[in-house]
Amino acid sequence: MSARRPVRTAVTAAAVALLALAAAGCGDSGGLRAAGATPTAISPDRLWPDLPPATSPAWPYDEGSSRPVKGITVPGDDIRGVDPVTVVRAEIASDPTDFGPTGAYQGTATRMGKCGARGGGAGCPLLKPYYRDLTGDGRDELTLGFRLYPTNQTALRVYTVERHRLVQILDDDDAIIGVELAGRTVIVRSPAGITGYEYRTTWAWDPQRRAMVFSRDEFLRTGKGHHTRRPLPSASAPHASASISASASASAATSAATSAGAR
């Protein structure tokens, strides 16, 4: 910060000098004018200052975790050489509770047999993979999505490479209507129980936890909505489209650039 301060000072001084020259050349028409009264800043009110300290941690939305993917190595640490189909099949094999014959997502395990090399093929639940540096180490991470059958959900996964091992750094299953990559953050859009609104959850890399952690959750208006008595989409509801976009929208980039908030 101290190294940048002289540069900012010099730029500011140059700008002031140019403004002064412009004012001198154009007369009073270019002079500074008052913008009116400035509202008085109001500091936040601290409620219950005598509140005793908590005896247990707050309920965590998701503090993030990472785990290596068993059976998959990454020669040369090039994550683009990893087959996304192999990655999803490795997860299915490691989780018989969810993907086994009586699991909630057994339909996904069955449909994985329709996937061709590196994905694709009619009926394949695997979505297009995306690559971007999300950890700031100069190397790409792998962002995967695959449909969870028969539920109306999408699985979102992010993987990185550590010492020739593939490591999962984000694991999120939800009713997803869109995913965006904004800089080094992952923004997940999900439907709300009120029409005209949606949830947007931002995940960001935490170098201490070595994982993508929840950093911001928003409840945003997307159009003219009204309260509805209908519940959230159930497992029998039609499948919502899930898409992953490598370029973020302006609103997503703005929300990722602001300070993080908690649900």
For residue 224, what are the domain limits?
67-257
Query: Is residue 167 one of the residues assigned to a domain?
Result: yes
- Number of folded domains that form the chain: 1
Q: How many CA atoms lie within 13 A of 151 on its CB side?
A: 17
Query: Is residue 8 a part of any domain in this protein?
Result: no
What pLDDT does 54 receive?
84
pLDDT for 118 equals 81
**pLDDT at residue 194, as a whole number:** 93
Q: Record the tokens describing residue 122, joined without a space.
A: 């009619």
216 falls within a domain: yes
Residue 159 has pLDDT above 60, yes or no: yes
Share of the chain above pLDDT 70, in %: 71
| Residue 19 forms part of a structural domain | no
Q: Is 37 within a domain?
A: no
* From 2-11, 78-87, 171-180, the region with the lowest mean pLDDT: 2-11
Does the structure show a pLDDT above 80 at 209?
yes
- Residue 53 inside a domain? The answer is no
Q: For residue 29, what pLDDT is reported? A: 61
Domain-embedded: residue 23: no
Q: What is the pLDDT of residue 5?
A: 34
Look at residue 238 and tell me whether its pLDDT is greater than 90: no
Token pair for residue 26? Answer: 């154009």
Q: Categorize the per-residue pLDDT at 106 as very low, low, confident or very high, splitting at 50, 70 and 90.
A: very high
Residue 85 has pLDDT above 90, yes or no: yes
Q: Is residue 229 part of a domain?
A: yes
How far apart CA 214 and CA 156 sit, in angstroms, is 14
Structure-model confidence comparison of residues 207 and 233, the more confident one = 207
The pLDDT value given to residue 35: 76
